[in-house]
Structure 1
Amino acid sequence: MASTDRQATTLALAHALSAAERGLAVIPLSRTKLPALRSPHRDDPGPAAPPCHGECGRYGHGVYDATTDPRRIRALFAAAPWATGYGIACGLHPHHLIGIDLDTKPGTDSSAALRELALRHLFTIPETVVVLTPSGGRHLWLSGPPDVVVPNSASRLAPGIDVRGAGGYLVGPGSRTGHGAYDMAPGTAHLAPAPCPPALLRLLTPPPRTRHSTPSSAGRHGQGLVHFVLAAHEGQRNTRLYWAACRAYESGIGPALAPALLAAAIHTGLTHHEAHSTLASAARMAGGQGG
């Protein structure tokens, strides 16, 4: 069994490195499909603190550890020698991946439900990457626009259809879990994630909620967002800046916080032009005014 697990770990690492070459950020997963590395903050004493998304520099922050850097991927797997699979982070540059998870729950036909949605809203599911799950389900990989954040959801679109978007991940093909292996569907391995049809994208992005905050909470929130950007590793800088800026504009502190976010991003190595463009995209997405 130990030898089998080592083989599964070696194969998972190889598949993860191959995915990273295609621009897909990855993390190691256990046989339960959960991130293989536990949170380094699980035993922290004291009152609840703002969640750490990797600012501490340690591993164990789930999808926030995701990277395309081969050295970091090897280090992540070395820290989790029990990993038998890998997760692919959604919503990140360059593909801005959206996962449509067609489940096989009893009493539901998720494939038929997706076809019905396509007929009702006048879109066609394009030819794209398809991953077959051990339970008989399918994961469809689609590419989203860089200025749209698709949230995760479970059966909101239709019964049996889960969506993996920003902050979520998909189990990568070649992974082994307690229920079996995830495999690429025949004839799709050579494909890139196809652009998400606009009509489907509108269904995946509910209207933004209006948020209110007090000056003191806004100040603490803004400081946390700036620290989040400052803690970015290579390959995460633009994504972290975009995520932080979106949260800032949604909270109503975007215009005030933008200069600090810009300075933090430049400090991590982004150029002024790159950082300014990312902030402008976040402002447009959240309904703010991009400078």
Structure 2
Amino acid sequence: MPRPDHTRALHAALLTAARGLPVIPLSRTKLPAVRSPHRGETGATACRGACGRPGHGVHDATTDPALIRALFALAPWATGYGIACGVPPAHLVGVDLDVKHGADGVGALHALAETHGFAVPQTVTVLTPSGGRHLWFTAPGPVPNSAGRLAPGIDIRGAGGYVVGPGSRTVAGRYLLAPGSTGHPLAPVPEALLRLAAPPPAPPRPPEQEAPRHPAEKRAAGLVRFVLDSREGERNGRLFWAACRAYDAGFGEALAPALVTAAVHTGLSEREAAATVASAGRLRASAEP
């Protein structure tokens, strides 16, 4: 017999999908609830659903009611749902305003608005269990994910990411629509905020005739190019390898920001890229005598 939280999440997911926003079931930990069909396979897989089986996270997201019911049936433990960001035609952008660990995302967003001269429009707003909120906007195209880059307490959920939908229950509590938010249409993201959310400039690729004169500089530029040339399915591995080589050469800390920026340009989120580089640094530190 379905549990009440599961039934409520399915109902809320169907209502959200009816607005044209694709959804997936989530577990109480806010992770995709349908298990990967590739678990137990040796080696990493870059499958994004091409195998035809469910269990590929945000790549399973759909607005089809029958498929949504089928996904929830595969995960009776699901108590929430995620809404895929960056999917046309809406290209949903979730602005996650956190208030945990001393951060004040709400205040930080208003400070950005004042500094850069834009107003924060009324739009769908979701209250999070921690006291923060998610603002939903539409964008003219995909917007990259970022964590804390605009300001402490402000995360951007864009292409390849998802936001937890209202009506979901997690280990932290329930996500709810803010009072009065139900009737609001999705507002376009302010242009100034869109510019701030754009990825940082790519590290320059020095022309061959102007190659760095110092061997270490030339080596560092080559590692950045190695990351920039990554394709989907190999981005994390190439970033980790490049970061390890940088730490081996003694300039890992100095090169880390450029490696993270390069990885963001290949499609990784800033948080994931930073975690990969940090992991390489810890590995090299533990290997030192």
Tell me whether the two structures share a fold, i.e. TM-score over 0.5: yes
Partner of 1:117: 112
Partner of 2:20: 23
Cα distance in 1 between the residues matched to 2:64 and 2:225? 38
Within the alignment, does 1:189 sit opposite 2:186 as a pair? Answer: no
| 5+ residue gaps, structure 1 | 222-249, 252-291
Residues 71-96 of structure 1 deviation map (CA, whole Å, 9 limit, x = unaligned): 11011001001100000000112221
Partner of 2:54: 59
Within the alignment, does 1:43 sit opposite 2:40 as a pair? Answer: yes
Within the alignment, does 1:150 sit opposite 2:147 as a pair? Answer: no
Cα distance in 1 between the residues matched to 2:103 and 2:129? 17
Within the alignment, does 1:172 sit opposite 2:165 as a pair? Answer: yes
| 5+ residue gaps, structure 2 | 204-223, 235-264, 267-289
SS of the counterpart of 2:12? Answer: helix
Partner of 1:273: none
Cα distance in 2 between the residues matched to 1:14 and 1:31? 16
Partner of 2:92: 97
Cα distance in 2 between the residues matched to 1:98 and 1:188? 16
Cα contact 2:100–2:130 (8 A) shared by 1: no
Amino acid at match of 1:57: G
Which of these residues, 64, 73, 79, is aligned with residue 69 of structure 1? 64
Amino acid at match of 1:160: G
Deviation at 1:41, TM superposition (A): 1.4
What is the TM-score with the length of structure 1 in the denominator? 0.69
Within the alignment, does 1:206 sit opposite 2:206 as a pair? Answer: no
Partner of 1:138: 133
Deviation at 1:154, TM superposition (A): 1.0
**Equivalent residue pairs, number:** 213
Residues 203-242 of structure 1 deviation map (CA, whole Å, 9 limit, x = unaligned): 00124637968xxx98x99xxxxxxxxxxxxxxxxxxxxx
Q: Percent identity?
A: 63
Cα distance in 2 between the residues matched to 1:171 and 1:156? 21
Cα distance in 2 between the residues matched to 1:96 and 1:78? 27
RMSD: 2.2
SS of the counterpart of 2:3? Answer: helix
Deviation at 1:106, TM superposition (A): 2.4
Amino acid at match of 1:60: G
Partner of 1:277: none
Amino acid at match of 1:139: H
Give the structure with higher Rg (CA). 2
Within the alignment, does 1:129 sit opposite 2:124 as a pair? Answer: yes
